[in-house]
Each structure stands twice: as structure tokens, then as C-alpha cells.
Amino acid sequence: MRARAEIAVTGIVQGVGFRPFVYRLASKHGLVGFVRNMGDAGVQVVVEGEKTTIEKFINSLRPEQPPLSRIDDIKVDLKPATDEFTIFRVVPSERVGLGLPSVVPPDLALCEDCLREMLDLKDRRYNYPFITCVNCGPRFTIIEELPYDRPRTSMKAFPLCPDCLREYQNPPDRRYHAEPTCCSVCGPHMDLYDTEGNILQVADPPAEAARLMDEGNIVAVKGIGGIHISTKTTDDEVIARLRKAFNRPQQPFAIMSRDLETVETFAEVSEAEAELLTSYRRPIVVLQRSPDYMLSELIAPGLDSVGVMLPYSGIHHLILRAGEDPAYVMTSANIHGLPMLVDNVEAMVKLRGKVDYLLLHDRVIVNRCDDSVVKLIEGKPAMLRRSRGYVPEPVKLAFRSDQSVLGVGGDLNVTVSVLVGDRCFIGQHVGDTTKVETLEYMQSAAERLMRLLNLERVDIVAHDLHPNYATTRIAPRIAKRLEAKTTAVQHHHAHLCSLMAEHGLDEIVGIAADGVGYGPDGTAWGGEVMLSRLNSFRHMGGLKKQRMPGGDLAAIYPARMVAGILWGQLERAELERVLDEYCASGFKRGKREIAVVLRQLERDLNVFWTSSCGRVLDAVSCLLGTCDERTYEGEPAIKLEAAAAQGNACEVKLDPAIEKIDGKPTLDTSKLLLDILSGLRARVPRKHLAAAAQLAVARGLASIAVDAASSSGIKTVGASGGVFYNRAITVAVHREIEGAKLKFVQHEILPPGDGGISVGQAIVAANIG
């Protein structure tokens, strides 16, 4: 019996070779009809043939799909055959949608086939950096609108030459309907510029850029999602010059190395880390330095780790293969706090005086996209930044919402998210929205993400509870434009709901520990144990509230937090001596500033209150002499973790002290600092004190969470917030929770830090309604 099947396929099915796959599969089964991309990133397939054959075809779609595609849904409408087709074809895309959420794939690392061709002297794409096929290359960063076809990408500026067109139209070819395909005849090209904008006449710009870097020059390199700043990693002088030029005195630089074997000469690489490094996503992976580490100490000052990635585009492969250094700095080209540069002219202007040369290409980057950063904790990925290689893949939700929601994130490490139906789509890393340019970028990223989802409006715009965040202030304007209402979501509730979404949970006892989040009581939270549901939360306990003399200054200069935490625990004169002896470098104006801070505390002037775990770790870091000033987000706590990794917590006894305050179990962090002070006076090695302090914080929070779970009858405890980038704290909390016979969950898909906040906001808003 002949039949007709009209099939709607959604998921990641555009830009991953799905249409060629369907063409080959249908032809193999002797079916006729067509396949085409649709306007909402789905694929429509219409086939006619024997009903049993059609059923076999449909049943083969999932198991035989291309490796980079992901089918979420297949909807089939069976009808009588019309006999209107004689062959099976790939037909032009349709601008209308299927009415089901789908999305374009992320950018894909260069595949082995294309790499082999690029390095083959006999291949017509030899040494061509923009080589690509259906299995690799840019996707998200070049697309303007759906459906995903060349005329709706930045490749529209490069019409295919006859040779490329022949491949593009040839079903058996690997470049059949590969939208970014091109060659040196018809595609983008690279040029090397001096800082005056003059093109250097060189035969091989990437190789020349590598030679210049090996000589100690700094080169701006335009890649897939933005422009990087690059130089050699073995020269202290040039790295110091780069740091000064970009005002990044301590921030660790990401580096790129030629291959896994080279990485293993300076870093320890586990099997799981190697798998991440070589995956098509190609994130930066935070690795432990090896004993043979020979790169400059200025790459990641004060740390025992280094962020490494492998080449993911032809551009990078050609540079790394021509260079002599084991690795090259590959850090985002942006002025501090501003978005990554993507435009050639803007780069020429803003990088003048900061770099020596610029290696640029003429393809427009439509959607800027920073590199993703991952750290493995107990073999599971903790996303420090979720961007290139992952965006805009969605999180599949355990519920379906009939309201669409835009989450606009917090204040730092901002992302935007759009919740539609049973999926939440996360945009690329935006950054620090305290700057006007970055706030504008956030709005642009939200608009583009909505456009890719075929959405003209949403029902709700969700934002942080903090009244002074730029994203909170702009949310009503965005909502007005989208004809939506606004919903404020508490920061740590959003953290925990993003974690719950990953694991399909509707309630947990959660530990939310980070630098800051606005509490309903108007104080700065950041070390909380909460009973979290998708539409509400109940505060169960956490860290003791401490004074922050000078407010945000205490987040920059943690010596002020030491003063605030120890205020009232020591006599003023003794506290003054402690600050002068152990934290003097944290007060830039010396004893005079110490006196001013103590006077603030005495008079309760410009003193704020916080239960932030991040601020406590900062204070410990300062008291131990590890870090006295934050020059990048999380610096004191990150350096404390590095110091603690050399120590042994068992060498000193720092027990968490939990007391009831306002009827809730509270970890006394003042006693923790007093115990550390006693250890210093007893000349206990600081590395052991650092390890013991982290363990005490972890055990204290875990103990409160276990009691909260027991009293509420909940069997799952989760951890979210930037503190859970700390390996030792995460492992210790995990051990304590499972030791109490409870299930422990941590982030594996979304960032534990504020990069996942927008997802939680969208989920809470959808469930509140």
C-alpha cells in the first residue's frame, strides 16, 4: 500500500548535514519526495512510497542521523499518496516554520578531513584557512536569520565559484549543501596589517604572523567568533608588555597549543580532559600545570593551573603549525569590561598602541562569541563560560510552559536565555553589563537569539531582584517593546533553579554560594542554604552575616573584609595590630587607612552586611597573605584554592562552628578567621591553613544542608554559585552529602556561576506565571 508521510523534524538539524543525510537515506529506501530547511530551524521531509518502507525510513532517522545533529522530536502525518514526485530532492528552504522550537548548531571545530586537505600540497584548498564542510566550521557566528542557508549568513558576500558550486550541488560530496563552503578563489581571505592599517605584502599571512610572534611581537588575530590577542608564552617581557597594554595585571591568559602531545609537555591531562580538548566544541580547559611546566609564570600568576585550548579553525591550525613556541597566548581582544572586538576598523582604532600587527579577514562576524571555558571537577564539567561550541544549544526541561520568557541575567558574566515550551535556549557570554557598550550588546544578543527562534515577542521578561543592576533597570524597557510583563527573581533562587533544570528536579535543598546576590532583606547574600522549588524558596540557614566596611571596596580589597569579620571579636587595638601585621599591603594608604576603616566600623558609617561565601574566602586569602587585591573576578578565592592545593587540611584542626541565629543554623565565619589567626601565630604553614579553611566552609554548609534536607524530607542536595568552581570545596560538600545518604547534584551543562542565572530566571518566571 502506497502512502505519503509529511514529517517535521526538530532539534539541531540545520547546518549539520541533515538534509544530505535524509537525501541519501530516502534514496537508499527508494522513496520519492523532498527535504527542506524551515524558518524555525527545523527540517520538513515529505516522502511517498510503500507504507512499510516509509516506516523503516522513519525508524532509521534517529539511529543513523549525522554525528553532530540532535533530533528532539519527529512528528509524522500519514496520508494517501499523491504520486506527484518522481525523484527525491533537496528543495529550497521555506521561510515559514514548523511551529516547534529548534535551533542552529554551535560553531564546530575543523574536522580531520578538512585539516588533511588543508595540509595537502596537491589539494586545491591547500593552506586555505577558511576550509570547511558539512561536518565543521562556523555556524552560529555567521547566521543572520533562519532558515540556515548561505544567503542568510555572512557568507552571502562570497558567491560560490564553479568548482565550489559543483561540490555544493553534488549529493555524494562532503560539501553538499555545506553553506559556509568556499575556497581561495571565491571565499574570504586574510591579510596582515601594521598598526597604521597598511597591508604587509606577504605570501602566507598566518605563517608570517607566527614568525612575528616568535620574535616577541603581539598580534591581533581575527578568528571565528571574535578577535584574539596573541603572542608567545615563553617570554616574560612580551607578556608583561601585553598585561600593561590591556590593563590585565593578574588575570590568567588562555593559551592555544598545537596538539595534545605538546600540551602534555607543560600540563597534566586526564583522559576526560583530553576528550574535551579534542572535541568538536574545543573549549578552553583548565588544566593542572605539570612538574615540567616551562611557560612563563606570567601566563597565570599565582595559580597552579593554566587554561588551554587546541586549534579549532584553519586560521589557528596554520598559525600553530608555522610557529616555534609550544603554545601562544590567545586571549579576547577587548578593552577591560567591554565586549570582544569583532570589526576590523574598530580593531585598528582601539588596538593601536597595544598590538604590533593585526591578522584580519574580511568575513563579517554576525554573532560575536567568546571561547568557552571548562574545568573538570570529579570528572564532570564545570562551565566557567558557556559560549563558542555550545551556544545556542538548549536545556531540555522537565516541564512545558505555555508562556515564553526572556531571562536577562545578573550583573557580571551575563548571558541571556529564552524559554519556549519545554526548552530553554542560552545565548553566548555577554560579560559585565555595568558598561553601556556591554549592556547594548546584551540587548542585541537577546534580539538575535529571539530572531533565531522565530519569536517576535515574549510573555515575560525575567530579571534579578537587585534594584541597581543595569539589567534590572533596562528590563521594563525591553518588556515594553516586547509587550511583556516583568518578573523579578532572587539571585540564588535562580542559581538553584538552573541546577534543577539540568537534572529535571522540581525541588531540592540547595547550597547557593557565590560573591553577591541581593537578598529579600536588602542585604548581600552569598552563602545560603535554601529549600528551592521552581516557583518559590525558603531560606533554611547559611553563613553568618558580616560587615563590609566601604561596601564594594571590601570586594576589591579583602583586608576590609578581614576587619569587618573580626570586628567585635578582638579589642580595637589588637585588631589594628592584626591588620597591620598580616594585611598591611591590603591597605594602600597604610596605617592611616586602617584607622579610617576601623572608625567606619565603630560609627557604623558606610558599612553594609553580607553573608557572601566569596567574601569570606577573600578574607581568608588576604589574612594568609595570598592575595590582597582583586584585579579580576574571583581572584583572591582562586589564588586561595591554588595555595590550598599544596597543603593538607588534616595538618590543622579547623572545625566549623554552627550556631542558631534568628532560629536558623548559621556558620560562624568570625570564629573561622580567629582560628586561622591562632594558626598563624602558632606558625602553622599557611598552605595547610588554606586547605583547612576551605574544608571548614564546605563542611559547615554541607552540615546545614543535610539538616535542612532531613527536616523537610528531601533526598537531594545541590550546589550552585561561583564558589563551586573550587574543586576542594565541591568535593568536600559532595562527600559530606553522600555520607549522609543523600543524593548530591552539581552543574554539568550550565555554569555554576552567574552565566547560568538567566536560565534560572526564565524557569522561575515561567512557573510563577
Other CB atoms within 10 A of residue 658 CB: 19
Low-confidence ranges of the chain (pLDDT < 50): none
| DSSP one-letter string for 206-272 | HHHHHHHHHTT--EEEE-SSSEEEEEESS-HHHHHHHHHHHT-SSPPPPEEES-HHHHTTTEE--HH
In eight-state DSSP terms, residue 341 is P
Q: Is the pTM of this model over 0.85?
A: yes
Q: What is the pLDDT of residues 503-553, one digit of tens each?
A: 999 999 999 999 999 999 999 999 999 999 999 999 999 999 999 999 999
User: CA 102, CA 469: separation in Å to the nearest integer?
Assistant: 31
**Res 101: pLDDT:** 66
Q: What is the pLDDT of residues 249-259, one digit of tens each?
A: 999 999 999 99
**Res 761: pLDDT:** 98
Other CB atoms within 10 A of residue 457 CB: 12
How far from 274 is each of 173, 308, 322, 680, 763, CA to CA, in Å? 31, 11, 23, 40, 34
| DSSP one-letter string for 523-537 | SEEEEEEEEEETTEE
In eight-state DSSP terms, residue 80 is E
The phi and psi torsions of 504 (rounded to 5 degrees) equal: 65, 35
**Res 575: pLDDT:** 97
In eight-state DSSP terms, residue 359 is E
Let me know the angle formed at the C-alpha of 751 by 750 and 756, rounded to the nearest 5 degrees: 75
Q: Which residues contact 215 (CB under 8 A, 6 or more apart)?
A: none
Element (H, E) at 200: strand 199-200
Q: What is the pLDDT of residues 337-393, one digit of tens each?
A: 789 999 999 999 999 999 999 999 999 999 999 999 999 999 999 999 999 999 999
In eight-state DSSP terms, residue 143 is B
By the 8 A CB rule, do 697 and 675 touch? no
**Res 1: pLDDT:** 87
User: CA 328, CA 646: separation in Å to the nearest integer?
Assistant: 27
Task: Write the secondary structure of 550-599 as one string of H (helix), E (strand) and C (coil).
Answer: CCCHHHHCCHHHHHHHHECCECHHHHHHHHHHHCHHHCCCHHHHHHHHHH
3-state secondary structure of 716: strand
**Res 500: pLDDT:** 98
